[in-house]
DNA sequence: GTCTATAGTGCGATAGAC
DNA sequence: GTCTATCGCACTATAGAC
């Protein structure tokens, strides 16, 4: 978390008025954490900056030292999440491994990442439509970029004849939907006492039976 | 659409101040249509009742003849969608048909319904977290009720040994996620020129290969 | 670097004319 | 049954003290 905030601080150093890194990182962490908590309860629009100020312990004036508008706060959080996703996912996928193993690693990587940062991903998903057109486009590109990782793995498997997939793009889309369900419907899986490992195991088995070549 | 609004009118006749059905149904249709359009662009919270008034052509005062608060408007729309979903889905599933056919019918029924009423379902999904606790519970019960339809079909298929499913509840959850993706990511499928029939065919094939008994 | 105080805007909701 | 006018309030954003 601290690392993420440091990253955000350095990327937005020109628009952030606070210059001491230690102070800025500490406060950014509080701002992000509180924003995610309040927004995921009742939505980003409904959360007033007064709420954020009260709950985070920073005054209204202090908040505006870290962003120039409420919309920019939204964008900062979204952007940080996107960059992290691509970084983690590509790190999870061993470039030299066979496709079947890559697929398993990519599914686990996605689930573990979104498990650890569930509020972040839930927030990004739910608030995307409240962004302006330009920022929405960036969000869409982010979704397609991670989907592309899965398409590439499926196509590689087809070429090596270890997968049989009628339509890699559609298959990757469905897989993405099932991966996202994990952080979108946490209430459901928590209620059923399903752990991220159980979900991962089941989803991997489900996918493998769907892409397995006919005998 | 008119039928839906008439249904809503009759169910909420005591809280709606307008007594002439023809007038009420016409205006309710305008209110719902405009609310869905504006909310799906920028969120229900962001849409002010002044926006709604301007776009729907009804004055502020007139709007308040149809609901007693902005929150009640949200609830009316959600509730109507839930009742319709259960009605249509159960109508689609032929009670006497074999499980494999039931599964196909349920998938098609869900997709066609959400295709025709996409804004309605998108709205319900996105705005659920903005409801109060009691109403959220109703929304969750609605989701579990439709999921139950799929669980029952899968379990019936297992009993008749035409399906092989390790975990019908998990399988139904994943299926639900894939069904919902159709109305949540319309931009993606529209961009790829994928029709609801193509999506249905693909998803049915995908599911059938996943539940097919090992030879 | 953070605070308090406040300007200015726009909201949800209602009363009363027509 | 619908409209206009308006109330009281909470909001985002900023200016200036510390």
Q: What is the pLDDT of residues A176-205, one digit of tens each?
A: 999 999 999 999 999 999 999 999 999 999
Chain C: positions less than 7 Å from a protein CB are 1-6, 10-16
* Mean pLDDT along residues A147-168: 97
Within this chain, do residues B207 and B133 fall inside the same structural domain, yes or no?
A: yes
Is B137 near chain A, with CB under 8 Å? no
Which of chain B's residues have a Cβ under 8 Å away from the Cβ of A167? 202
Is B169 near chain A, with CB under 8 Å? yes
**Nearest to B13, CA basis, from B5, B88, A200:** B5
How far apart are alpha carbons A186 and A123 in whole angstroms?
A: 13
Instruction: Assign 3-state DSSP to chain A and report helix, strand, coil percentages, each to 5.
Output: 75, 0, 25
CATH number at residue B188: 1.10.357.10
pLDDT value at B2 more than 90: no
**Nearest to B149, CA basis, from B209, B177, B107:** B107
Within this chain, do residues B169 and B88 fall inside the same structural domain, yes or no?
A: yes
Within this chain, do residues A31 and A54 fall inside the same structural domain, yes or no?
A: yes
Q: Domain boundary residue among B48, B68, B88?
A: B68
Q: Domain boundary residue among B39, B68, B97?
A: B68
A41, A170, A209: residue with CB nearest B210: A209
- Which H helix or E strand runs over B208? helix B196-211
With CB atoms and an 8 Å threshold, state whether A202 touches B130: no
pLDDT the model gives residue B108: 97
Lowest-pLDDT range of A75-79, A130-134, B17-21, B119-123: A130-134
Within this chain, do residues B188 and B112 fall inside the same structural domain, yes or no?
A: yes
Is A136 near chain B, with CB under 8 Å? no
- Judged by C1' against the alpha carbon of A23, the nearest nucleotide is C1
Within this chain, do residues B120 and B204 fall inside the same structural domain, yes or no?
A: yes
pLDDT band at A1 (very low <50, low <70, confident <90, very high): confident
With CB atoms and an 8 Å threshold, state whether B46 touches A130: yes
pLDDT the model gives residue A60: 97
User: Residue A141: is it exposed, middle or buried by C-beta count within 10 angstroms (0-12/13-18/19+)?
Assistant: exposed
Within this chain, do residues B135 and B161 fall inside the same structural domain, yes or no?
A: yes
pLDDT value at A163 more than 90: yes
User: How many domains would you assign to chain A?
Assistant: 2
Within this chain, do residues A111 and A129 fall inside the same structural domain, yes or no?
A: yes
pLDDT band at B10 (very low <50, low <70, confident <90, very high): very high
Closest residue by Cα to the C1' atom of nucleotide D15? A61
pLDDT band at A86 (very low <50, low <70, confident <90, very high): confident
Q: How far is A43 from chain B (nearest CA, A)?
A: 6
pLDDT the model gives residue A174: 98
Question: pLDDT, tens digit, for every residue of B95-114?
Answer: 999 999 999 999 999 999 99
Within this chain, do residues A38 and A103 fall inside the same structural domain, yes or no?
A: no
pLDDT band at A89 (very low <50, low <70, confident <90, very high): confident
Within this chain, do residues B174 and B108 fall inside the same structural domain, yes or no?
A: yes
* Mean pLDDT along residues A9-29: 95
Q: Which residue of chain A comes nearest to B172, CA vs CA?
A: A178
Within this chain, do residues B22 and B109 fall inside the same structural domain, yes or no?
A: no
Within this chain, do residues A38 and A81 fall inside the same structural domain, yes or no?
A: no
**Nearest to A94, CA basis, from A108, A111, A80, A114:** A108
Instruction: Give the Å distances, CA to CA, from A138 to A67, A78, A120, A141.
Output: 19, 10, 17, 5
Within this chain, do residues B46 and B145 fall inside the same structural domain, yes or no?
A: no
DSSP letter string over A18-71?
---HHHHHHHHHHHHHHHHHHHHHH-TTTS-HHHHHHHHS--HHHHTTT-SSHH
Q: Domain boundary residue among B33, B68, B103?
A: B68
Structural domain that includes position B186: 73-211
| Percentage with pLDDT > 70 across chain A | 100
Residue B83: Cβ within 10 Å count: 15
Which of chain B's residues have a Cβ under 8 Å away from the Cβ of A178? 174, 177-178
Is A185 near chain B, with CB under 8 Å? yes
């Amino acid at each position: 978390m601290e690392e993420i905030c440091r990253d955000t601080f350095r990327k937005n150093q020109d628009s952030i008025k606070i210059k001491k890194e230690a102070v800025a990182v500490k406060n950014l962490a509080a701002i992000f954490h509180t924003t995610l908590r309040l927004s995921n309860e009742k939505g980003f629009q409904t959360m007033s900056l007064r709420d954020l100020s009260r709950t985070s312990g920073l005054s209204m004036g202090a908040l505006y030292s870290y962003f120039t508008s409420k919309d920019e706060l939204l964008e900062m959080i979204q952007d940080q999440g996107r960059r992290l996703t691509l970084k983690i996912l590509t790190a999870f996928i061993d470039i030299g491994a066979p496709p079947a193993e890559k697929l398993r690693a990519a599914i686990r990587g996605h689930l573990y990442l979104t498990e650890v940062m569930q509020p972040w991903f839930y927030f990004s998903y739910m608030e995307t439509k409240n962004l302006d057109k330009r920022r929405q486009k960036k969000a869409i590109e982010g979704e397609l970029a991670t989907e592309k990782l899965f398409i590439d793995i499926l196509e590689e498997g087809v070429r090596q004849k270890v997968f049989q997939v009628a339509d890699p793009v559609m298959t990757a889309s469905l897989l993405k939907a099932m991966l996202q369900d994990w952080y979108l419907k946490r209430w459901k899986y928590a209620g059923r006492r399903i752990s991220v490992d159980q979900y991962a195991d089941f989803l991997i088995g489900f996918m493998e039976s769907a892409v397995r070549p006919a005998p």
